[in-house]
Structure 1
Amino acid sequence: MDAAFFTKMLSDKSVLDLRKLGYKFPKADIKEFTELLKNGFYHSLPLKDFSGQDLVYLSNITQVNLSAAKVLLTPQNSTQLYGVKAMAEEIISTFTIEQVDFTRDSVRKILSGLAPTDESESRIFGMKKGLEFISDPANQITEESIYHLYEMTIGAYLPEEDRLLPGHFYRHDSVYVVGAKVEHTGLPWQALPERMGELVAFIYEDSEIDDLLKAALIHFYMAFLHPYFDGNGRMARLMHLWYLVQQGYSSALFVPLSEYINKSCKGYYNAYTLVEENAAISGMVDATPFLVYFIENVYHKLNGALPTTQTTAAFQEALSHGQVTEKEKSLWEFVLSAYGDTEFSTKQLEKDFGNAAYATIRSFALKFEKLGLLKSTRYGNRVKYAVRVC
């Protein structure tokens, strides 16, 4: 293939869709094109497809902006490991993506510490326990701990036919992802222990792959293998977060990544489908469409998801000058964790915080507005506050 023609194809926006690329360049040999990619452009991974070939991706078009890493690395002014608002939105979004029955009221109830009273609330409670588990840096990723996470979060709440057999970390039969047609067949169950072992080895392997890109690859591979009868998508997203926590991206626990996925859910599933369709043409599993989806629809949408450095610095300055009491510090940490950038009223804060008189809450809101940490908006006779993000 002529070098100029190859370069033109490589730079075309349809390069992520080999079928469209073939239509656009009818004189091109797509097999030859992908062979050239394989020989000099694909980055091979120590993760295998179902036939034992290495998975690949195009590193030149899967670059993550440094701003995304900066957001996820920014320390939070909170004594809590996991942001309450982020946890609520993570549960709501991941259940919505998987079409699991729940209500927002039930999520709020369980996160407030009340015991579950029905099957739906038990599943919420399970997800809460799972998110708390991955938020603890002491919980290292191993095959045993992945199994423990699955059982506490999903497995214990499944019907008998979908549960894992005693002593089995993974499913013991075939599984299919079915839409209008069979879109994906999970890895043959006999090979799951070997492939999952390779995934854990990949997680701990030193490499030049960007951490955020590696987290997305872990996410993709979990769903690709489909190691369970049910809950594979939830586990893939949990594994993504878990890896980021293990790598020190503590603010990943204050940004509900699944909320961004839910907002672009069609693109999320289309990315998986595109990988399958491309593989049928090229004979290789190229994860690039999924990585590009995640970069564009999640990572590069994170700016403004957390308080700015200026807001954080302003609080630290007020704290160092003795302008903030211990109670006000606790209230500020709670506001960041529970509300993020959403509005709240002083009455709502009094109810949710549960450990301060209304006069204290009111004084806190007025004082932190003067310090430039909160902003207020009037709605008729009501006033709502929000963390100042600019």
Structure 2
Amino acid sequence: MDVLLFTKMLSDKQINDLKRMQYKYSVSDVSEFIALLKSTMYKCLPLRDFSGKALVYLDNITRVNLSSVKLLLSPQINENSFSVKAMEDEIHSTLTIENIASSRDSIRRILGGYAPLNENENSIYGIKRGLEFIADLDHKITEANLHKLYQTSVGEYLDENDKLLPTHTYRHDDVFIVGNKVEQQGLHHSKLPEYMGELIEFINQKDDIHDLVKAAVIHFYIAYLHPFFDGNGRTARLVHLWYLVQQGYSSALYVPFSSYINDSRKDYYKAYSLIEQNANISGMIDITPFLSYFIENIYNKLSLERSQSDTLQIYKNLLSEGRITEKERDLWNFVLSVYGVNEFSTKQLERDFRNAAYATVRSFVLKFETLGLLFGQKYANKVKYRVR
């Protein structure tokens, strides 16, 4: 193949859609292009497709924005293991992606320590328990702990027909992933222990794959294998977060990843479909479409939150200089945990915090606005604030 044509195809925006590439160029050009990628550019993963061949991806188009890395590595001032606001958003979004009904009121009730009242609230309670499980750094990613996470967050709340057998770590029968048509059959159940064992080994081995890319690989592979009858998507998203937490990305617990996925849900599922469609043309499972989706729609979007990370650094400096009182510290931690980046009023903060007079709350808000940590927006005769 001519080098100019190869470089043109390599930089084409449609590179993740081989069918469109065939229309744009030709079937023979795409065949030659794939052959060159196989021999010169594809990176092989120590994970296998259903036929036993290695999964591959293109490293050159799966680069992560460094500001996303900085944000996720930034230590949080708040002492809570998981932001309450982030937990609420994560629970609501991961269930919405699966078309499981969940109201914000129910989520707040469960997060407030109340027992679930119905099936939908059981689902909420399960994800809450799952998030608390992965927030504990002592819970290393092992096959036994993965089973415990699944049972804790999903398995215990399923219908009897979808539950794992008492002596099984994974499903004991075959499963089909069905949309408007059958799109994929999960890995044959007899192979799951072997393939999942390889995944756990991959998770814990040291390699040159960027942590954020590797987390997305893990996410894809769990959904691809479909090791459970139900709850594979929820489990994949939890394990994605779990891996980042274990690698030291402490702020992953403050980012509701699933809300970004839910906002781009159509593209999330399209990435899976493209991988299957491309495999029919190339004869291999190239997971670049999924990695590209995650980098563009989730990781790179995190760079927009960088200003909040800078705000936290300013606060940390002020705290070390002794310019923040103990009560102000408590109010600030409360604002971060409960409101996140959402707006609140002084009256709302007084009511929700419950341990400070209105004058104290108002003084805190005005001081932190002056310091550049809060931003006030006037609405008619009311002012609402949010973290800058």
TM-score (norm 1): 0.96
Q: How many residues align?
A: 388
Matched residues in 1 for 2:277 and 2:51: separation? Answer: 16
Query: Contact conserved, 1:81 with 1:253, CA < 8 A, in 2?
Result: yes
Query: Contact conserved, 1:222 with 1:236, CA < 8 A, in 2?
Result: yes
1:358 Cα shift?
Answer: 3.0
Residue in structure 2 matched with residue 229 of structure 1 by the alignment:
229
Question: Quick check: 1:356 aligned with 2:361?
Answer: no
Instruction: Give the match's secondary structure for 1:45.
Output: strand
1:356 Cα shift?
Answer: 2.9
Residue in structure 2 matched with residue 18 of structure 1 by the alignment:
18
Residue in structure 2 matched with residue 300 of structure 1 by the alignment:
300
1:371 Cα shift?
Answer: 2.1
Matched residues in 1 for 2:315 and 2:377: separation? Answer: 21
1:109 Cα shift?
Answer: 1.1
AA partner of residue 353 (structure 1): F
1:27 Cα shift?
Answer: 5.7
Deviation string, structure 1 residues 84-135 (Cα, Å, up to 9, x no partner): 1111100111111100121111011111222222221121111111001101
1:306 Cα shift?
Answer: 5.7
1:111-126 equivalent positions in 2, closer than 5 A: 111-126=111-126
1:37 Cα shift?
Answer: 1.0
Question: Quick check: 1:203 aligned with 2:203?
Answer: yes
Query: Contact conserved, 1:255 with 1:305, CA < 8 A, in 2?
Result: no
Residue in structure 2 matched with residue 67 of structure 1 by the alignment:
67
TM-score (norm 2): 0.96
AA partner of residue 26 (structure 1): S
Segment of structure 1 superposing worse, 354-363 or 116-125: 354-363
AA partner of residue 71 (structure 1): L
Deviation string, structure 1 residues 146-192 (Cα, Å, up to 9, x no partner): 11011111111100000000021111111111111101111111111
AA partner of residue 201 (structure 2): A
Query: Contact conserved, 1:306 with 1:341, CA < 8 A, in 2?
Result: no
Query: Contact conserved, 2:67 with 2:306, CA < 8 A, in 1?
Result: no
Residue in structure 1 matched with residue 93 of structure 2 by the alignment:
93
Residue in structure 2 matched with residue 213 of structure 1 by the alignment:
213
Deviation string, structure 1 residues 204-232 (Cα, Å, up to 9, x no partner): 11111111000000001010001111111
Instruction: Give the match's secondary structure for 1:14.
Output: coil
Matched residues in 2 for 1:324 and 1:6: separation? Answer: 59
AA partner of residue 37 (structure 2): L
Residue in structure 2 matched with residue 251 of structure 1 by the alignment:
251
> What's the Cα RMSD here?
1.5
Gaps of 5+ in 2: none
Matched residues in 1 for 2:124 and 2:74: separation? Answer: 28
Instruction: Give the match's secondary structure for 1:46.
Output: strand
Matched residues in 2 for 1:245 and 1:352: separation? Answer: 29
Matched residues in 1 for 2:142 and 2:83: separation? Answer: 25
Query: Contact conserved, 2:65 with 2:303, CA < 8 A, in 1?
Result: no
Query: % of aligned pairs identical?
Result: 59
Segment of structure 1 superposing worse, 370-379 or 288-297: 370-379
1:137 Cα shift?
Answer: 1.1
Residue in structure 1 matched with residue 321 of structure 2 by the alignment:
321
Question: Quick check: 1:78 aligned with 2:78?
Answer: yes
Segment of structure 1 superposing worse, 356-365 or 75-84: 356-365
Matched residues in 1 for 2:355 and 2:191: separation? Answer: 53
1:134-283 equivalent positions in 2, closer than 5 A: 134-283=134-283
Instruction: Give the match's secondary structure for 1:340.
Output: coil
1:240 Cα shift?
Answer: 0.6
Note closer, same or farther for the CA distance 1:8–1:381 as it changes in structure 2 (3 Å cut): closer
Matched residues in 1 for 2:354 and 2:195: separation? Answer: 48
Segment of structure 1 superposing worse, 303-312 or 370-379: 303-312
AA partner of residue 238 (structure 1): L
Segment of structure 1 superposing worse, 309-318 or 321-330: 309-318
Residue in structure 2 matched with residue 6 of structure 1 by the alignment:
6
AA partner of residue 317 (structure 1): N
